[in-house]
Chain A
Amino acid sequence: MIGRIRVIAFNTFREAVRDRVLYNLVVFAVLMVCGALVLGRISLRIERLVLVNLGLTAIALFGIVIAIFLGIGLVSKEIERRTLYTVLAARPVRRWEFIVGKQLGLMATLVVNAGLMSVGFFAALLYLQHRFQAADGFLLVALYFIILEFVIITSLALMFSTFTSPLLSTIFTFSLFLIGTFAEDLRAFGALAGGFTRALTTGLAYLLPNFAVFNVVSEVAHSVPVPGRLILFNSLYALLYATAVTSAAVLIFDRRNLK
């Protein structure tokens, strides 16, 4: 069982890499370099701020876009092209093993991608500051949180692609990402209304994925420490939510007729 999942995960990773997804790193690197060079002209006080904001936001956004586009292609493309037949039909692979393997493979791709981007980012930071400060440790926390976001997004993209077309999967996943980013504002909107609207928006704000909690970019840019409790709970939240979504994906995929 573990062996098969590992094989599927590795194959997913390999497909993604060979699909030249890592080319996005080139764009990112260019962005970092230009950013660092341009910032070198401004006063020392805010250039670190801008670089951190720019770098972390870029890592997050690039990663999320990749997560969505790779994730939706994972299952729906395989169903569309019927590559799934040879993997599932006459092999002792259970459908849930397939889903879990895909999830893990995609996560590995994103972690590697984010890792390489982080190297570039820290290099730019080093160029700017000429050394590392203690406060830079917090940047790692921000990066960790970004990776937690990836975990949830890939599980969502995967789940949608088990039952809808690639286009719809993209739209749904991206919509959930937007809503989740503004989850707290959603709750505030609802709080201004009353009664049923408020109950509905509060319920949605809790059930839909909340991505706002993972965004500590502003804080770490200002060297504000992130409390340990938050790190713990965020990790827990990402794990729980992604597991819930992946379970849903397994349930849907199990019942699905593969035309």
Chain B
Amino acid sequence: MSSRTSAGVAGLLLVSCLSLSVLTLHQIEQAREHIILQEALYIPTPKIVKALSLGYTGLMADLYWTRVVQYFGGKHHQGAEEYKLLAPLLDITTTLDPHLLVAYEYGSIFLSQKPPEGAGDPAAAAALVQKGIRENPKAWRLWYCLGYIYFDELHDSKLASEAFLEGSKVPGALPWMKIMAAALAQHAGEAETARYLWTQIYNSSDNPDIRANAIKRLVALRVDAEVERLQAVVDRYQRETGGVPQRFLQLVQAGYLPGLPVDPAGNPYLLVDGRVQVARPAALPFITKGLPPGQKPSLIVTPKSGRS
């Protein structure tokens, strides 16, 4: 065999074997699919992973983060109902690099959303974010994540509001943190807190839109208080007279009220089947009481529409 032919054979082998190896690799990946999914059994503890990193914890954290994304994406794509490995993987990632904020932010979203969108474990998500807050006191965005989880998935407006409030105290936090805190407090029925916060916001902002918004909020709080007070009077009338009043006029004539009540928008309050109601809800965004039956209170008003 001359050197020419041996070179030719070698070149041919090189190209053909390399191409075939790529194809084979592709096949291998498919064969490995279900092995990878069975990994649920043996995620090592964060401490072990940290020890094995030999100091290169930052790199390992990045590596694990990409695995989180890959795992989540793969499962999501399949419409999975269970995301068993998500919390442990995130735990490892954040133990390796406690300052990897993106892991807390996105990780908590992956964890809290209901399946098949996410793992459906808001408690774990909250725990993760709280860990992040402990390690990164200056990261006010994490308070936002926490507040979001409390509100959206755990339906606890009070805790949500507190989270936003704490976050708003962090230097560098954007103003709307306070707004969110106030809005949520109002939603949770914490009228005093809300009133205080909205007043704060009104006083501390130069932005006309924010101020106008704060006024609307304060007005809504006033309406809520008024509706509550009026309702108490109506209930008392009902108890004492035994009849359901049809009009506020009856209450005025009976001496329960000094005059016909009017809401801040200038419309008289209505009495419908013994229930106090505002005449035009559209004129009073953000109220939570006195709404017609079936209408939900709005938390955020989209600009220019005034509608909830």
**Chain A residue total in the interface (Cβ 8 A):** 36
Interface readout for B58-73 with A: 1 if CB under 8 Å, 0 if not?
A: 0000010011011000
* Complex CA–CA separation, A251 to B27 (angstroms): 29
* Complex CA–CA separation, A188 to B67 (angstroms): 7
Chain B residues touching A, majority SS: helix
Contact B66 A188 (CB under 8 A): yes
Complex contacts, A94 vs chain B, CB 8 Å: 1, 3, 6
* Complex CA–CA separation, A185 to B22 (angstroms): 17
Q: Does B31 contact A (CB under 8 A)?
A: yes
**Chain B residue total in the interface (Cβ 8 A):** 31
Given contacts A221-B42, A230-B35, contact A250 B17 (CB under 8 A): no
* Complex CA–CA separation, A185 to B27 (angstroms): 18
Tell me the B32-53 residues at the A interface (CB within 8 Å).
32, 35, 38-39, 41-42
Contact A192 B69 (CB under 8 A): yes
Contact B10 A241 (CB under 8 A): no
Q: Which residue of A lies closest to B34 (CB)?
A: A227
Interface readout for A231-247 with B: 1 if CB under 8 Å, 0 if not?
A: 00110110011011001
Given contacts A237-B25, A247-B11, contact A188 B31 (CB under 8 A): no
Chain A residues touching B, majority SS: helix
Contact A185 B42 (CB under 8 A): no
Q: Does B20 contact A (CB under 8 A)?
A: yes
Given contacts A206-B22, A244-B14, contact A234 B28 (CB under 8 A): yes
* Complex CA–CA separation, A244 to B70 (angstroms): 31
Given contacts A188-B70, A233-B28, A240-B17, contact A250 B39 (CB under 8 A): no
Contact A224 B20 (CB under 8 A): no
Contact A185 B14 (CB under 8 A): no
Given contacts A185-B67, A224-B35, contact A96 B25 (CB under 8 A): no
Complex contacts, A248 vs chain B, CB 8 Å: 10, 14
Q: Which residue of B lies closest to A210 (CB)?
A: B25
Q: Which residue of A lies closest to B62 (CB)?
A: A189
Name the one of B17, B42, B66 contacting A243, with C-beta atoms under 8 angstroms.
Answer: B17
* Complex CA–CA separation, A206 to B168 (angstroms): 48
Contact A207 B22 (CB under 8 A): yes
Complex contacts, A234 vs chain B, CB 8 Å: 28
Q: Which residue of A lies closest to B4 (CB)?
A: A254
Contact A227 B3 (CB under 8 A): no
Contact A247 B6 (CB under 8 A): no
Q: Does A58 contact B (CB under 8 A)?
A: no
Q: Does B24 contact A (CB under 8 A)?
A: yes
Complex contacts, B63 vs chain A, CB 8 Å: 182, 185
Contact B24 A240 (CB under 8 A): yes
* Complex CA–CA separation, A241 to B70 (angstroms): 27
